């Protein structure tokens, strides 16, 4: 019985250590500046910027580690897009009304708008290829 408790305690200790290390690593993900091609969306320009276009809008926050993971991916996507397809970002801390309007419950949430209307939604970290494939889809 005593040996079983030692083994269980050791296993729990290893999991706690791994969890703490993973959290530390996630918090230290560097911030990446947005590409010049990314639209900065606000409550005042949102409707105009998504009108007559295909826009992938990233709802994010500065404290969100998965959002920081997505930043370079979104930069790459924005740099590859041509024509009337764009990438935009909404900081949910600054524009909570937009997050509420589109019922964003988790971040990162990316919503694809065509002519100002939502056509698709993705939650969590996604790959560049996944996003480019969704942007090339005929909606």
Q: What is the CB-side half-sphere exposure of residue 67 using CA atoms within 13 A?
A: 21
Catalytic residues: 64, 67
Q: Rounded distance, CA 85 to CA 77, Å? A: 10
79 with 49: CB under 8 angstroms?
no
Residue corresponding to tokens 């024509």? 83
């Amino acid at each position: 019985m005593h040996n079983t408790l030692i083994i269980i305690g050791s296993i729990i200790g290893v999991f706690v250590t791994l969890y703490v290390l993973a959290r530390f690593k996630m918090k230290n993900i560097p911030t990446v500046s947005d590409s010049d091609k990314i639209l900065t969306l606000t409550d005042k320009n949102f409707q105009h910027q998504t009108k007559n276009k295909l826009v992938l809008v990233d709802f994010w926050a500065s404290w969100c580690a998965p959002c920081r993971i997505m930043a370079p991916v979104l930069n790459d996507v924005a740099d590859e897009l041509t024509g009337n397809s764009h990438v935009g970002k909404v900081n949910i801390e600054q524009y909570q009304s937009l997050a509420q309007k589109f019922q964003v419950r988790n971040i990162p949430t990316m919503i694809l708008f065509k002519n100002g209307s939502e056509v698709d939604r993705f939650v969590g970290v996604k790959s560049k290829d996944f996003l480019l494939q969704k942007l090339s889809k005929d909606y």
